[in-house]
């Protein structure tokens, strides 16, 4: 595979599939669906090629493909993956075919729907593969357009409000990030002559020259964009509306992938580019993460809408991601990366199950459900496994990520004296998660079965095929996470040792 631009093909394939779909007559619904699914499966095949060809001993980017498309300003098309981005690229390649298969029943404007989904896949893959700040920003903004249309056209009754809110929040953060990117480019011009958007060069040559105050302001400019996307409390209020109003596949993509763009941005850009600010702001970031963990869990318990519960649970689970990142040590950061993958599997699975139930009952209100284990035993069994995964039950994937994130934060030198108190508070969020997940299972599956739900069809073959890969990975990661840590270890340690050599070692 040496010399083959596999990442570029992964980016072009879904975009080409979207253009092909737009050229097909609208009435050929079946053809459109199969082209969309086949295209995304092709991307998954290429992603597996990345996995099998990846060398975990190399800390730097691999499968790099570069084209200097604007050398006069130092801008380049440069993509690659390392141990930090590998699993997020693979998660993207897995989630999209599952989301497209879950969209098989979409009838209204199905042609445009499938094209937008494939275009969105290109954008998300580009965010995780970009090795140039300007290219990263282009892909970051590109994802905003198809997702806004997916929510605004195929969403629920308040879809326009949710779509506009999602757009405005994301755009507000993006503007500040663009200002920071331009500022870094201007600062690099005296050193390079043309300027550069290469974050690796900037971390090595430019960051040591920045004053602590400059680092702080640039960190906050990038950080606001990433905090909104995570979403960190108190920048989370767009999330419940977007999740609830989005179509099922849109909710899956939002939870499983788009939220990860924020956590990935902190690790890929904020921390190595502004190391002094990262150390200075580690405790505030961790504190906001703990607030998100507790707030999201309490808010989840208060919901009567199944989908809204899962939406607020994302705020809580992503808090564990940010807590692990704020630890600034290999254990916490590796746990955060794995937890991003785990959250994509478990919460993406929950949104899929909510959509499957809504297609049968046309309600998400817990007060109208109950007793469904009697009518849908296979659905109930799958919901329990995915729910326990989200809860962090030992033996399943969620436990590994959350436990190690807590362990990393507990021994973090970057968090100093606050580490143990913050970790103890965050650990209480695990208890709260058990409360709201078990309550959810009780309200959906147990109790008397309402007469109108008798005779509901259980999961069909297509739905079981959608859930099967998620269930396999939930169990595999829970029982044997070593391959995931082995692939990311070298990159994480290189990234942190170059960034903050005095604090990255776990105590």
**Angstrom distance (rounded) from CA 397 to CA 415:** 26
- What are the backbone angles phi and psi of residue 319, rounded to the nearest 5°? -65, -35
Q: Is 32 inside a domain boundary?
A: no
Q: Tokens 């941005």 map to which residue? A: 265
- What are the backbone angles phi and psi of residue 392, rounded to the nearest 5°? 90, 35
| For the ranges 34-43, 202-211, 447-456, the one whose mean pLDDT is highest | 34-43
For residues 238-263, average pLDDT: 89
Q: Is the pLDDT of residue 503 over 70?
A: no
Q: Which of 196, 7, 2 is nearest to 85 (CA)?
A: 7
Q: Is 288 inside a domain boundary?
A: yes
Q: Is 380 inside a domain boundary?
A: yes
Burial 214-226 (b: 16+ CB within 10 A, else e): bbbebbbbbbbbb
Q: Is the pLDDT of residue 504 over 70?
A: no
Q: Which of 338, 364, 361, 375 is nearest to 474 (CA)?
A: 338
Predicted confidence band at 141 (pLDDT cuts at 50, 70, 90)? very high
Q: Tokens 């992503």 map to which residue? A: 318
> What's the start-to-end Cα distance of the chain, in Å?
41
Give per-residue pLDDT as tens, 48-76. 999 999 999 999 899 999 998 888 888 89
Q: Which helix (H) or strand (E) covers residue 272, if one does?
A: helix 271-273
Residue 502's pLDDT is what? 40
Domain with 380, as residue range(s), is 281-507
DSSP 75-139: EEEEEEE-TTTHHHHHHHHHHHHHHHHHTTT--TTHHHHHHHHHHHHHHHHHHHHB-SHHHHHHH
| CB-count burial class (<10 Å; 0-12, 13-18, 19+) for 310 | buried
Contact indicator for 73, 155 with CB cutoff of 8 Å: no
Predicted confidence band at 507 (pLDDT cuts at 50, 70, 90)? very low
Q: Is 435 inside a domain boundary?
A: yes
Residue 149 in tokens: 């249309």
Residues 6 or more apart in contact with residue 27 via CB below 8 angstroms: none
Contact indicator for 468, 349 with CB cutoff of 8 Å: no
Q: Is 354 inside a domain boundary?
A: yes
Q: Which of 456, 468, 459 is nearest to 374 (CA)?
A: 456
Residue 66, helix vs strand vs coil: strand
Could you tell me what percent of the chain has a pLDDT over 90?
Answer: 74
Q: What is the 3-state secondary structure (H, E, C) of 19-54?
A: HHHHCCCCCCHHHHHHHHHHHHHHHHHHHHHHHHHC
Residue 61, helix vs strand vs coil: coil
**Angstrom distance (rounded) from CA 329 to CA 323:** 11
Give per-residue pLDDT as tens, 392-416. 899 999 899 999 999 999 988 888 8
Q: Is 308 inside a domain boundary?
A: yes
For residues 442-453, average pLDDT: 91
Q: Is 474 inside a domain boundary?
A: yes
Contact indicator for 322, 263 with CB cutoff of 8 Å: yes
Radius of gyration for the alpha carbons in the chain, expressed in angstroms and rounded:
22
**Angstrom distance (rounded) from CA 143 to CA 198:** 21
Q: Is 495 inside a domain boundary?
A: yes
The set of long-range contacts for 27-31, using a CB threshold of 8 Å and a minimum separation of 24, is 29/107, 29/110
Give per-residue pLDDT as tens, 293-305. 999 999 999 999 9
Q: Is the pLDDT of residue 505 over 60?
A: no
Contact indicator for 426, 409 with CB cutoff of 8 Å: yes
What are 62's strand-pairing partners? 81
Better pLDDT: 234 or 101:
101
Residue 284 in tokens: 């505030």
**Angstrom distance (rounded) from CA 307 to CA 244:** 6
For residues 431-445, average pLDDT: 94
- Global confidence as pTM: 0.93
Q: What is the mean pLDDT of the chain?
A: 91
Domains contained in the chain, number: 1
* CA distances for 5 relative to 20, 76, 80, 200, angstroms: 22, 15, 10, 21
């Amino acid at each position: 595979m040496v010399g083959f631009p596999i990442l570029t093909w992964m980016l072009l394939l879904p975009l080409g599939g979207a253009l092909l779909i737009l050229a097909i007559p609208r009435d050929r619904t079946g053809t459109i669906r199969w082209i969309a699914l086949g295209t995304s499966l092709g991307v998954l095949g290429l992603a597996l090629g990345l996995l099998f060809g990846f060398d975990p001993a190399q800390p730097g980017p691999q499968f790099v493909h570069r084209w200097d498309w604007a050398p006069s300003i130092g801008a380049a098309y440069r993509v690659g993956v390392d141990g930090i981005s590998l699993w997020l690229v693979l998660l993207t390649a897995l989630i999209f075919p599952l989301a497209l298969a879950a969209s098989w029943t979409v009838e209204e404007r199905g042609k445009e729907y499938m094209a937008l989904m494939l275009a969105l896949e290109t954008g998300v893959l580009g965010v995780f593969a970009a090795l140039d700040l300007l290219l990263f920003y282009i892909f970051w903004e590109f994802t905003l357009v198809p997702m806004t249309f997916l929510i605004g056209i195929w969403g629920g009754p308040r879809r326009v409000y949710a779509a506009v809110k999602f757009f405005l929040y994301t755009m507000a953060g993006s503007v500040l990030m663009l200002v920071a990117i331009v500022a870094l480019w201007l600062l690099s011009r005296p050193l390079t002559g043309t300027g550069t958007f290469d974050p690796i060069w900037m971390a090595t040559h430019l960051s040591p020259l920045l004053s602590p105050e400059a680092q702080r302001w640039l960190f906050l400019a990038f950080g606001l964009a990433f905090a909104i996307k995570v979403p960190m409390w108190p920048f989370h209020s767009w999330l419940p509306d977007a999740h609830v109003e989005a179509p099922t596949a849109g909710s899956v993509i939002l939870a499983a992938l788009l939220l990860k763009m924020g956590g990935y941005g902190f690790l890929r850009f904020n921390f190595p580019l502004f190391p002094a600010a990262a150390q200075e702001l580690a405790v505030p970031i961790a504190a906001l993460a703990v607030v998100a963990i507790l707030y999201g869990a309490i808010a989840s318990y208060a919901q009567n809408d199944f989908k809204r519960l899962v939406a607020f649970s994302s705020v809580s689970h992503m808090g564990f991601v940010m807590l692990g990142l704020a630890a600034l040590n290999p254990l916490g950061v590796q746990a955060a990366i794995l937890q991003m993958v785990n959250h994509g599997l478990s919460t993406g699975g929950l949104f899929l199950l909510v959509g499957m139930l809504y297609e049968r009952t046309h309600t998400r209100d817990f007060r109208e459900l109950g007793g469904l284990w009697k009518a849908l035993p296979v659905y109930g069994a799958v919901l329990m496994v995915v729910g326990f995964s989200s809860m962090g039950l030992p033996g399943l994937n969620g436990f590994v990520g959350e436990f190690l994130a807590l362990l990393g934060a507990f021994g973090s030198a970057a968090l100093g004296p606050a580490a143990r108190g913050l970790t103890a508070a965050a650990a209480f969020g695990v208890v709260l998660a058990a409360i709201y997940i078990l309550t959810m299972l009780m309200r959906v599956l147990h109790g008397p079965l309402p007469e109108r739900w008798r005779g509901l069809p259980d999961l069909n073959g297509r739905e079981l095929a959608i859930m099967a890969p998620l269930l396999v990975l939930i169990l595999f990661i829970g029982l044997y996470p070593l391959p995931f840590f082995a692939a990311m270890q070298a990159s994480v340690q290189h990234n942190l040792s170059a960034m903050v050599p005095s604090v990255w070692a776990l105590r």
